[in-house]
Amino acid sequence: MATKQCDEITEMVCLESDLQDGQMKEVEVDQNKILLVRNNGEFTAVGGLCTHYGAPLIKGALVGDRVRCPFHGACFNTKTGDIEEFPGLDCLPKYKVKVEDGKVYVTTDKKKLKKRVKKMSGRVPGVSHTVVLIGGGPASLQCAETLRQNGYEGRIIMVTKDEQLPLDKTKLSKAMNIEIEKVLLRQNDFLQEHGIDVWTKKEVKSVDTEAKTLTFSDGTNQHYDQLLISTGGRARPLQCPGAELKNVKLLESYKDATEIHQMSAGNKAIIVGTSFIGMEVAAYLSDKADSVTVIGSSKFPFQSSLGPDIGKMTMQMLEEKNVKFYTSNGVAEIRGENGKVKEVVLKNGEVLPADIVIVGIGVIPNSNFLKETSVEIDSRNAVVVDKFMKTNIPDIFAAGDVVSFPLPLVGHKRVNIGHWQLAQAHGRIAGLSMLNQQVVINTVPYFWTMLLGKSIRYTGYGEGYTDIVFKGSTEERKFLAFYIKDEEVVAAASLNFDPAVARLAEMLLMGKRITKAQAQSDDLSWLQLP
C-alpha cells in the first residue's frame, strides 16, 4: 500500500514486530533501497547504500546508532544519516518513519537521492582570513569541507602540484585506464560553489612561518593565516644502475597510471616490490601485458603486514593468471637501449627481458620544503602532530600520509600510516582545530586491497604482532585472521568474511579488549556475525 502526496511516497515496509532492538532491515520504497533500523524501540530510516562506492549497508555492522560499511569501513549515524567515519565525503539521505497499528511506514521523495551533502557555507566577500591547504589529497579536501560545514567564511586555497583536481588515488593502481571524470572526488562547479579554490600544477618551495608566507617554485608568494600541510608521500625510487631509464615508472599520479597502462599493453612488464601498489598493478596488468613478472625482497608478498599465509595465497592467485614471481630477490641493474629499458638483472644474476619496469617499494613523506623551518619532523621525514593535528608551530596543522600522529589504539604512540581513510579523518580534525573546536583524533585504521576482483579488508594496527589466529583458511580463500600481540587482538584481516572486519573495527574503536582466547575459540558469538 502506497500513498502519494505531492512529491512524497509513503509505503508500509514491515510490521513493528519484524524488527527487534539493535536490528536492521533493507526495505524498498519506490525502488529506493532504504536501511530501516530499530534502536530503543524507535525506528529510523536512512539510505541503504554507502555513499563511498555504493555497498549495501545491510551487509555491514550495526553498533548502537552507527552502521559501518562492510567494504571500506565508512560509518553513518542511523538517526541523522551523517557520515562519522571515512572513506567517502557524503552523508546518507534520511527518511520519515511512522508506526501505526503495528505497521511501519517509510516516506521518501521523488528525487531518489543516493547521497546527501552536508550544508556548507561559502566565502563571504570582505572576509580576508585565509586558510591554505598544501596538497590535493583527501586530507586537504576533507579539511576544506569541514571548514565550510562549520560556517567558515574566509578564503580557502588548496595548492597541488598535480595537474588534476583532487581525485581518488586508491583507484589508480586498480583501474589504471579509468576516465578522469570517474575518479574526481568533487567536480569543479562544486568546489567553486563552496568557495574552495584549487591551484593545480603549483608546488610549494618554502614556508616562512614568521611572516606566514609560502613561496612557490614559480617564484610567486601567498600569505596564510592558517596552514595545513597534507603533502602526502612520494614513491621511493629504485637505487641501482639504470634506474633513470625512460621506461622505469613510479605510480604517483593519474598521468603515471595512464602511461603505465599504455606502455604495458602487449609488452613485458616487470614490477619491483610486493607491496599493495605492486600487487594491485600486477593483478591489473595480468590480462593486458604480454607478461608480468614481480620481484620481491621477502619470501611472500605482504609478508610483514599480513603474514606469510595470506601472502602465499595472493601469490598463488596471481600465478594462476600467469604472473611470475622472483621472491627473496632484488634488482641489481637495469640495462637499456636508446634510453629505454631492455632487461633487468636480478641480484641472483638472472637476466629478464623487459619493456617497462614499475617500482613500488615504499613511500617517503613529502616534507623537504619544511627543512628551513622549525616545524618538527621525525627521523622518518614525517611531520609530528598532536591529537588535534597541530604541529609545534602556531597556526600550522598537518594531516594524512605526511604526518606522525598519536594513535589511541596503541596508547597514543606516534605512528605514520598511509591509509586513505586516516587521511580523511585527519583532515576533519585539522579543520575543526582551525576553528578552535577541540576534537581529538580517535579513529581505527581501516584498509583494503583489491586483487582480481577479490578484496582483502584490514583493520587495526598490527605492527609487532607475534601470532596469527585463522578462522576459515587461505586455501579456501575465505578467512578471518586475527593478529595477536601480548595475548590481545590488535588487528584483523579478512577475505569473503564480511562484516567481521567492520564489526571488529567498531569494537576496537570502543576500546573493547579482545583476547587471544576469544580469537581461538570456536564460538565467535562475541563478534555478532549474521
Q: What is the pLDDT of residue 455?
A: 97
Q: What is the pLDDT of residue 529?
A: 84
Q: List phi, psi (to 5°) of 99.
A: -115, 125
DSSP 8-state secondary structure symbol assigned to residue 421: H
Distance (Å, whole) CA 463 – CA 416: 11
Q: What is the pLDDT of residue 420?
A: 96
Domain 130-234+365-434 in the same topology as domain 2-109: no
Q: What is the pLDDT of residue 109?
A: 84
Q: What is the pLDDT of residue 52?
A: 96
Helix ranges (H only) for 150-230 are 180-183, 188-193
Q: In terms of Cα–Cα distance, which of 216, 201, 158 is closest to 431?
A: 158
Q: What is the pLDDT of residue 4?
A: 58
Q: In terms of Cα–Cα distance, which of 11, 130, 38 is closest to 434?
A: 130
Distance (Å, whole) CA 455 – CA 280: 11
Question: The pTM is what?
Answer: 0.96
The alpha carbon dihedral of 434, 437, 443, 448 has a sign of: negative
Q: What is the pLDDT of residue 77?
A: 98
CATH code given to domain 2-109 = 2.102.10.10
The DSSP line for 168-185 is: -GGGTTT-TT--HHHHBS
Q: Residue ranges of the domains in the chain?
A: 2-109, 130-234+365-434, 248-361, 453-521
Per-residue pLDDT of the chain (530 residues), as tens digits, is 555 566 889 999 999 999 999 999 999 998 889 999 999 999 999 999 999 999 999 999 999 999 999 999 999 999 999 999 999 999 999 999 999 999 999 999 877 788 999 999 999 999 999 999 999 999 999 999 999 999 999 999 999 999 999 999 999 999 999 999 999 999 999 999 999 999 999 999 999 999 999 999 999 999 999 999 999 999 999 999 999 999 999 999 999 999 999 999 999 999 999 999 999 999 999 999 999 999 999 999 999 999 999 999 999 999 999 999 999 999 999 999 999 999 999 999 999 999 999 999 999 999 999 999 999 999 999 999 999 999 999 999 999 999 999 999 999 999 999 999 999 999 999 999 999 999 999 999 999 999 999 999 999 999 999 999 999 999 999 999 999 999 999 999 999 999 999 999 999 999 999 999 999 999 999 998 88
Classify domain 453-521 at the CATH superfamily level.
FAD/NAD-linked reductase, C-terminal dimerisation domain (3.30.390.30)
Distance (Å, whole) CA 100 – CA 117: 31
| Domain at 130-234+365-434, CATH class | alpha beta
**Domain 248-361, what architecture?**
3-Layer(bba) Sandwich (3.50)
Q: Residue type at 150?
A: N
Q: What is the pLDDT of residue 338?
A: 94
Q: What is the pLDDT of residue 496?
A: 97
The alpha carbon dihedral of 285, 290, 296, 300 has a sign of: positive
The separation between CA 187 and the C-alpha centre of its own chain, rounded to angstroms, equals 19
* First-to-final CA distance of the chain: 30
From residue 292, give the alpha-carbon distance in Å to each of 258, 264, 311, 339, 443.
Answer: 17, 9, 18, 21, 37
Q: What is the pLDDT of residue 111?
A: 77
